[in-house]
Amino acid sequence: MSPELRHDVFGPTGWADLTEVADVVAECEDGLALSLHPRRQEAEVLVTSWGMPRLTEDLLRKLPALRTVVHAAGSIRKLISEAVWAQGIVVVSAADANNEPVAEYVYAQTVLALKDVHRRAHRIKSGKGLPSLEEVPGIYGQPVGLVSFGSTARKVATRLRHLESEVMAWDPHVPTDTLRRLDVTPVTDLRELFTRSLVLSVHAPLIPGQTEKLVTGELLRCLPHGATLINTARGAVVDEDALADVLRERPDLYAVLDVTTREPLPPESPLYALPNVMLTGHVAGTVSAERRAMGRLVVEELRRIAAGSPPAHAVSAHASLLRA
């Protein structure tokens, strides 16, 4: 990783902690530097982050001692190849630290949505006067739907308990008993989830051929009056053309999009002009000093590895298919 990214992720104290627990044989900014480094063959653990190229079979041949990859970021989808799994290399992800700010973001946007802040702010700035407070649903006891129930969604559900929300989730990969144990109402029909949710938060990973455009125009039209859609997962999970059409038809709806299929959206995208859309430009995940939490997680995992213990945040090949 670059010196700037290393500083963001570890800071001076975090890097000092890392060098205490591990013998750093190489510091490389990119895959080329790694493949050419004279001590690359000694590396048993590879610490990576954003910008690291895919660990292909060719690159792995140059790292014969590699046993563990610790990724100081969220998604491992672009990093880990089939060759990594085939060689039995342990993969560790700091996604659990990366998604804490995402959960906070979703919680904050949920509160704003239930206070009708998004629409009210636009109307007031447009000079249309003060909307009636009778239109504000209020934050307590409202129905909130979660599309997919992975780590981020679970953290959102935990935070929503404070609001006494009726939390519902759709996830065909999570047993209904698991959801009920977490005080979450399982909903097996996605259409029903949209119909019942005053706030609908998308957390589904982008799985080619399965979740692309999972959120269709038909589903969006099922949202109740005054509902808000929040997407912090992947832009392509939502059919953005259909979303624009529905938002034009239904000015009562609102969409908070932290992610879009293309980032930034092309200039001709209708989402720019719609008054009932907020675009926040992929800010929900860790930024700036928030990234230090990932650095701390990496150091903790290196301590476990050095002590001969299994890492706490290892990702299996199967689990990786269900992640963003």
Q: What are the structure tokens assigned to 112, written together?
A: 């704003």
Residue 41 and residue 18: Cα distance in Å, rounded?
Answer: 20
CB 122 within 8 Å of CB 305? no
∠ CA 142-290-149, nearest 5°, is 40
CB 159 within 8 Å of CB 101? no
Give the closest residue to 247 by CA, choosing from 269, 214, 211, 217.
217
Q: What are the structure tokens assigned to 216, written together?
A: 């269709």
First to last CA, the chain: 21
Rg (CA), the chain: 22
CB 91 within 8 Å of CB 310? no
71, 119, 159, 234: which one is catalytic?
A: 234
Question: SS3 helix, strand, coil % of the chain, rounded to 5?
Answer: 45, 15, 45
Q: Which helix (H) or strand (E) holds 169?
A: strand 166-170
77, 282, 303, 323: which one is catalytic?
A: 282
The answer to whether 313 is a known catalytic residue is: no
Alpha helices, DSSP H only, in the chain?
3-21, 31-36, 57-61, 82-86, 95-98, 100-114, 117-125, 151-160, 176-181, 190-196, 217-220, 240-249, 292-306, 317-321
CB 14 within 8 Å of CB 295? yes
The answer to whether 282 is a known catalytic residue is: yes
Residue 149 and residue 133: Cα distance in Å, rounded?
Answer: 33
The answer to whether 318 is a known catalytic residue is: no
Q: Which residues are catalytic?
A: 234, 263, 282
